[in-house]
Chains A and B, each alone.
Chain A
Amino acid sequence: MKNSSENRRQELEKYFDAKGPFALFRVAQMKRAWQQSNRRELTWWENTYIPSLFTGIWLTSKHFFYNFTFHILHLFGLYKNVKAAVTFEYPEKPRPLAARSRTRHRLTKREDGSPRCVACMMCETVCPARCIEITAAEHPDPHIEKYPAEFILDLGKCVYCGFCVEVCPEDAIRMDTGKLDIAEYSRASMIYNKKRLMNE
């Protein structure tokens, strides 16, 4: 058994024709291939499958007893901060989001409740998915140039890149609602208007 890797090497040499004009090159190629694929021969004890069997059972049992202990302790309200499972029970307890994660958009408001947006069209211009469509109108207040008469955002098209938030000079659009599970029955209901965006 000791020489089985040597035997296999000789076997390989048979397949490679070591005669002819490229003999030396071919032998070198063969040696390199053999070295790259050279795996350690298993010892007799390893070949019985017994050590790996016990290693495997040991590993899973360790996990089992650790988790089992903490599941039982959780039942009595102890050690709640130690997790016994990596599962997040999603619809009831959503996974905590990172502070910077980009979620559904909202339009921020002024103190009087009107949108902060001045309809500068920066977001509409920068949007790579072209999902924003602003209809501008003149604002009654002379200090404010314009306001969006309608602000359409098609979430069916949006790629959540956050460029609109980056580019906005008035901090009028944000992606911090924490809403990710947006599912609708039609494409039309994925289209958000100003009212939906402002009511968060």
Chain B
Amino acid sequence: MTSADIFIKFLLASGTILTMFSVAGLLTWVERKQSAVMQDRIGANRASIFGFKAFGLFHAIADVLKMLSKEEFIPQGANKFLFNLAPYLSVVFALVGFAAIPIGNQLIIGDRVIELQAANINIALIFIFASMSMGVYGVVLAGFSSNNNYAFLGGMRGAAQMIAFEVTMGAAIMGVIMVFNTIDLQALVRGQGAYLLGGWIPKWGVIVQPFAFLLFLTAAMAGTKRTPFDLPEGESEIIGYFVEYSGMKFGMFFLADLIETVLVAALMTTLFLGGWQVLYLHPDGFHFPWGTFVAVPHLAVVGLGVLSFFMKLAFFIWVLMAVRWTLPRFRYDQVMRLGWKILLPASLINIAVTAIVITIAQSF
């Protein structure tokens, strides 16, 4: 590995992480504006710099400034080390997952081949799942170290919910893994570049595994700890695992939720909506099923791929936000029932049916 390789890798990794971090920061604005437009309101529009308002975009900056200037409070009897560590764990493990998300196809410059994936590892899916599971350590440690029973209860709920829905998430994507025969996300996205029914329908995850898509969507939504499934929080009953946190540390928990939303949206894009695949776009150009061919240069193909990835990401973020601002929250027992008694058996049935269908298809 030459120093140029290392430099490119560094650029790619920092670019991916910073982009996703900015998207998550922007989501505080998106959340306010989308909920406002949904509810016939205007939404945040007051923060201005020299009378320039930019549709309320500066509210994100104002929030950060407020968070940073607030008092950092550590309760008496708290485990100071773990108390300070917990928010960082939440954010870092939510961000680390993006390393394995492929944001584009191979970029070929001269004789150098660059995979647009920060960490080009062949166990990408397991890596992301591991990082998502580790993220719950932030929640549990926050609850544990606060020396507050409400926070502790919130942390326990966070752990229980994460376990319940992580299992379903794992089982739901088994179907996708079986269809595409890989857990390398880049290879999985390439696999989704195939077409069914004489080239008309793309072989995207959502087409071949619609049931798994719904299961994964539900479980992933629960994984983000946001409203229909915000059991670790619940202002009216147990306040939340971050009850003792203030200032930017509280802000980091808030941000971690949003980063997880982006991560989940990115994961769904990659698994079910063909990642960076553009409809009918092959490495040399558009091959439309009615026989037309439009040649596209290599750089434009890669650029369109990256653009398509981010558009699909935006779509899923929109869906997650719409769900968050539409549905009322579940009760704790309802969430546990949904996780263990409905989603898990359903995902297991999905695996069995997929296996049978694949076996039958292969025998012909």
Contacts and interface: CB of A to CB of B under 8 A. Distances in A.
Nearest to A55: B326
Contacts of B327: 53, 56
A67 B326 contact: no
A107 B42 CA distance: 40
B40 interface: yes
Nearest to A58: B326
Interface stretch (A81-89, A133-141, A171-179): A81-89
A61 B319 CA distance: 10
A63 B41 CA distance: 10
A16 interface: no
B38 interface: yes
A63 B326 contact: no
B325 interface: yes
B39 A63 contact: yes
A68 B326 contact: no
A60 B38 contact: yes
A57 B34 CA distance: 13
- Interface size class on chain A is 10 to 19
Interface in B3-41: 34, 36-41
A66 to B, nearest CB: 9
Contact of B41 (A53, A68, A85): A85
User: Which of B36, B37, B327: most chain A Cβ within 10 A?
Assistant: B37
Interface string A41-76: 000000000000100110111011001100100000
Contacts of A63: 37-40
Given A53-B327, A56-B326, A68 B42 contact: no
Contacts of A71: 37
B298 to A, nearest CB: 35
B68 interface: no
Contacts of B34: 64
Interface in A10-56: 53, 56
Interface in B239-257: none
Contacts of B74: none
Contacts of A56: 326-327
B108 interface: no
A67 B322 contact: no
A64 B322 contact: yes
Contact of A86 (B41, B325, B326): B41
A120 B34 CA distance: 60
B38 A64 contact: yes
Contact of A87 (B42, B322, B326): B42
A57 B326 CA distance: 6
Contact of B325 (A60, A68, A84, A85): A60
A20 B327 CA distance: 50
B196 interface: no
Interface of B: 34, 36-42, 322-323, 325-327
Given A57-B323, A85-B41, 4 more contacts: A63-B39, A85-B36, A87-B40, A89-B42
Question: Ordered nearest first, which 10 A-B pairs have the shortest CB separation?
Answer: A60-B326, A87-B42, A64-B38, A67-B37, A56-B326, A85-B42, A60-B38, A86-B40, A85-B40, A68-B37
Interface of A: 53, 56-57, 59-61, 63-64, 67-68, 71, 84-87, 89
26 contacts: A53-B327, A56-B326, A57-B322, A57-B323, A57-B326, A60-B38, A60-B39, A60-B325, A60-B326, A63-B39, A64-B34, A64-B38, A64-B322, A67-B37, A67-B38, A67-B40, A68-B37, A84-B37, A84-B40, A85-B36, A85-B37, A85-B41, A86-B40, A86-B41, A87-B42, A89-B42
